[in-house]
Structure 1
Amino acid sequence: MPEPPEKLRQGPLREQAWRGPLRSERTAALLGLGVAITFGICFVTGVLSHVAQNPPSWLTWPARPVGLYRVTQGLHVITGFAAIPLLLAKLWTVYPKLFEWPPLRSLAHAAGRLGLLILVGAGLFQLVTGVLNVARWYTPMPFFFTVAHYWTAWIIVGAILIHVGSKLSVIRRGLARGQQQPAVDPARGGLTRRGFLTTVAATSGVLALTTAGQTVPGLSRFAVLAQRDPGVGSQGLPVNKSAVSAGVEDSATDPTYRLVLEGPRPSELSLAQLRSMSGTTVSLPITCVEGWSASATWTGIRV
């Protein structure tokens, strides 16, 4: 493919444009490692959440430890927020490569760029929709969040594996301890690579800290970004909706209410029968898929 006319070699198309330690292989590799770790944690904990809500016939979610889902879902949301600055910094570091010439060198190169486009698009989709779900703002999402979020996660994992496989030699070179690269461009000065990476890591840490308080009791005073205040509500339980606001107060107290238990020995219990049974009072945590959790005292019939 012929070189573009010199008059088009302006801005990002200039030869040697966007060069410097902040856009080096090492910077990109370190940020990519952070993105891979956070997205990996989100994927594993997200799959666990999906299995807990949609268990296959051969799997039963363990009853002990009682706080297991609290840990996995809290970790899912915390690492999701922490991944935001990591992904944005990674994209800022590598996006000048979009202006490389020629744009398509071969069929394999074209396939790699297409895969990268899928990876970037799916990654941004997951983070944006995840934040919208935590905020319970569903108007911009004309689809069922959990289904889209779950299947897009598998697309991301596949795209990451393909990307890592195609860039393995570059990643290994970037992560090599012996790689000699200037920490700052002597001609330009400014922020060093270490300073840039420290800033990104600190931003991720602040987002994680200010989100974790909605599920980690000891950090509740730092939870300025949490969508639920752990100290609000009866027993400090910030429920999303009361029975009145959900419109289920009448149906929940209707004498015709029936609890239907299906299985090898199906059973049906009326509200009067349930009230006649001896109840049990226990202290258990409740966890929402939005990331918040709290412990409270519950009284009811063991199923």
Structure 2
Amino acid sequence: MDRTLEGGDCFPMDPLPYVCGLYALIPLGPGDLLIWDRGFFSYELIRSVVQRGAHLLARVKSNTVLRPIRRLDDGSHLSKIYPDWNSRLRDRDGLLVRVVEYTHDDPNRPGMGERHRLITDLTNPEDMPAREAPMVYHERWEQELAFDEIKTHLGSREIPIRSKSPAGVVQEIYGMMLAHYVVRRVIHDAAAAAGRDPDRLSFLDSLRVLQCQLPESPHVAAETWYQRLLREVRRQELRPRRDRWYARVIKRKMSNWMKKRPEHRNPPQPTKPFSQAVVLLI
């Protein structure tokens, strides 16, 4: 895949780390992988993605009708989605998708045994094995870190947007998006040269390195300066992440979520990484 994008609030990860707003504003093209949550499921949206030559990986609700057509060796199965019920009865205008069903067996994680379903237009298991699909979908949470990078580290001014006109606001937002792209592109190039995961390099430290070395760029050959920059960015490695989770509760009383109580302060932590806890359902 050339890029990975998340529906609603989407961003490409490895090659082109860039944050955007609604996915419909992104020029999706061949090789892109769009990831979206189950609230975005729509026949028309899926068809528009496929028509652009892009690919999708989407979670679907439990009541979505996905009748198996053929079982595949990796545990997934082929199915079709239709624009309406009449089209389903007549098998007309159906879009072929591959369905991956999974759960997890870690008793210290929420939802053990709960069935989850993913669909993708990548019908060949070699393009995305069923075992890898949940891990790829799980990566969509990295978007929250991208929001933090933009709002906290790039937009840390007391007044984030200073313009008084709509055009000026758009211009400032584009400026922050481009600045974020530049930093993330440098991180990607540095990680790729060292064979590392870009997520393991610090955004804030890389930003500081870039700020320090930018004044030197007019006085050094571009290629030499950039290679020196990548070497320094590669050194900004983060500590290993803790495999942890917290209950989805809040302090407010009037809410759809459970109220935060003393037992939620120190919940039991996972016994193994998510990748080892995933169990495919056949």
The TM-score with structure 1 as length reference comes to 0.27
Higher relative contact order (CA 8 A, sep 6+): 1
Higher strand share: 2
Larger radius of gyration: 1
The TM-score with structure 2 as length reference comes to 0.28
Higher helix share: 1
